[in-house]
Structure 1
Amino acid sequence: MVARIYRPSRTAMQSGKGKSHEWVLVYEPAEAKTVEPLMGYTSSGDMRSQIRLTFETKEEAIAYCERQEIAFEVEEPNAPRSRPKLSYSDNFRYDRVQPWTH
């Protein structure tokens, strides 16, 4: 069973970076999920899919996997895209590329 170590990206619902500073260890699913035919519930017999461990650093997560003899893959976080710094007053500049109208 392979574990995946990654750093979660920030949520799309907020502009903050909450819960995106820790590294997370999750197990890859060992078996596919099944749909129960009567009620339509999704279930799985894989108990490791419920485990989610968090670590302060990537090195701590790797050391844990090596200590417990767990095969792992590390996913490096993507670099954040930079946006130009704009202020509200830039909307009303006289040398604006596109004229401001109502």
Structure 2
Amino acid sequence: MSARIYQIQKNALQSGKALTHKWVLEYVPAEAKQPDPLTGWAGSGDTKQQIKLHFPTEEAARAYADREGIAYSVIPTAPKTLKIQAYADNFR
């Protein structure tokens, strides 16, 4: 049983940065999803995929994983880059 710890990224379709300071612990899928023969929907017997735990800091998420004996990997947050552009640059 292993997990990923990552910080929530800003939604690309919205300008707001709500909840981007939170960290998430999410279990890695133990088995691949298979299509259901009756409905065709994708699913698996792994119920840990449904669990997402939210933490205020990365240290809190790490402490929880260590305390519960969960192997984890931390996915680093991508650096934020700003594209500084003037409105007049649209007409060059």
TM-score (norm 1): 0.81
Task: State the Cα RMSD in Å.
Answer: 2.0
Q: Equivalent residues in 2 for 1:70-89 (5 A)?
A: 70-84=70-84, 86=86
Per the TM alignment, residue 85 of structure 1 is displaced from its structure 2 partner at its CA by: 5.4
1:20 aligns with 2:50: no
Q: Identify unmatched segments of 5+ residues in structure 2.
A: none
Per the TM alignment, residue 31 of structure 1 is displaced from its structure 2 partner at its CA by: 0.6
Q: Identify unmatched segments of 5+ residues in structure 1.
A: 92-96
> Aligned partners of 1:32, 1:84: CA distance in 2, in Å?
42
Greater Rg by CA: 1
Amino-acid identity (%)? 43
Aligned to 2:4: 4
> Aligned partners of 2:29, 2:74: CA distance in 1, in Å?
16
Aligned to 2:30: 30
Further displaced range: 17-26 or 76-85: 76-85
> Aligned partners of 1:85, 1:56: CA distance in 2, in Å?
33
Structure 2 residue matching 1:48: 3-state secondary structure = helix
Over residues 5-61 of structure 1, what are the superposed CA-to-partner deviations in whole Å (9 max), with x where a residue is unaligned?
000211111011122110000000001111012211111100110110000000000
Q: Bigger relative contact order, structure 1 or 2, given CA contacts below 8 A and separation 6+?
A: 2
TM-score (norm 2): 0.89
